[in-house]
Amino acid sequence: MVIRSFLIACFFIFIGANGLTAQNDYIGAAKCKMCHNKPSTGAQYSQWQETKHASAMESLKGDEKNDPKCLKCHSTYYGDDEMLMATIKPEEGVSCESCHGAGSGYKSNSVMKDQAKSIERGLIIPDETLCKKCHNEESPHYKGFNYEEYLKKISHPIPAS
């Protein structure tokens, strides 16, 4: 009986760790680049590199680079639980996964080709509310936030075929 309850408990812990409550790990922009840098499908990686998000760590000077108060908005790495940081680097600033969600669960080609499946595995299709997690008055350099205008400056669409 004891062994059986133990096994049942293990089963639920297993489900808990791998099922609905599973949290994905952050894999870093270099991994997304492997599939998202072809000009014919929009070269999202290069597009992102040209935005201020990719250089957000360079805006922090001296001690600011270690200040959690600044890092939480200027670096994907410091924006979530450090236990979830797999192959991502702190220097990459505000990268893909700050907006699209941690990628370990949806990064495979077969999942990514299916939008519904990707979302089920943690892909986020970002909206205005998500941007405002960082674009708000808590930012010492807040310049206001017009979603349509700001979106244009960072857009990286898949070209219509």
Of 6, 22, 50, 67, the residue at the interface with ligand HEC (CB under 6 A) is 67
Contacts (Cβ under 8 Å, ≥6 apart) of 72: 78, 79
User: Does the protein bind ligand HEC through residue 92 (CB under 6 A)?
Assistant: no
Query: What's the N-to-C CA distance of the chain in angstroms?
Result: 62
Tokens of 100: 């699209």
Per-residue contact flags (x/-) with ligand HEC for residues 25 to 64, judged by CB under 6 A: --x-x-xx-xxx----x--xx--x---xx--x--xx---x
The residue from 88, 100, 121, 122 that contacts ligand HEC (CB under 6 A) is 100
Distance, CA of 35 to CA of 64 (rounded, Å): 33
CA torsion through residues 147, 148, 153, 157, sign: positive
The Cα-based distances of 55 to 16, 52, 60, 89 in angstroms read: 37, 5, 10, 13
User: Which C-beta is closer to ligand HEC: that of 15 or that of 158?
Assistant: 158
Q: Which of 79, 105, 121, 122 binds ligand HEC (CB under 6 A)?
A: 79
Instruction: Give the type of residue at 68.
Output: P
Q: Which residues would be at the binding site for ligand HEC (CB under 6 A)?
A: 27, 29, 31-32, 34-36, 41, 44-45, 48, 52-53, 56, 59-60, 64, 67, 69-70, 72-74, 79, 94-100, 103, 107-109, 112-113, 115, 118, 125-126, 130-131, 133-136, 138-143, 150-151, 153-154, 156-158
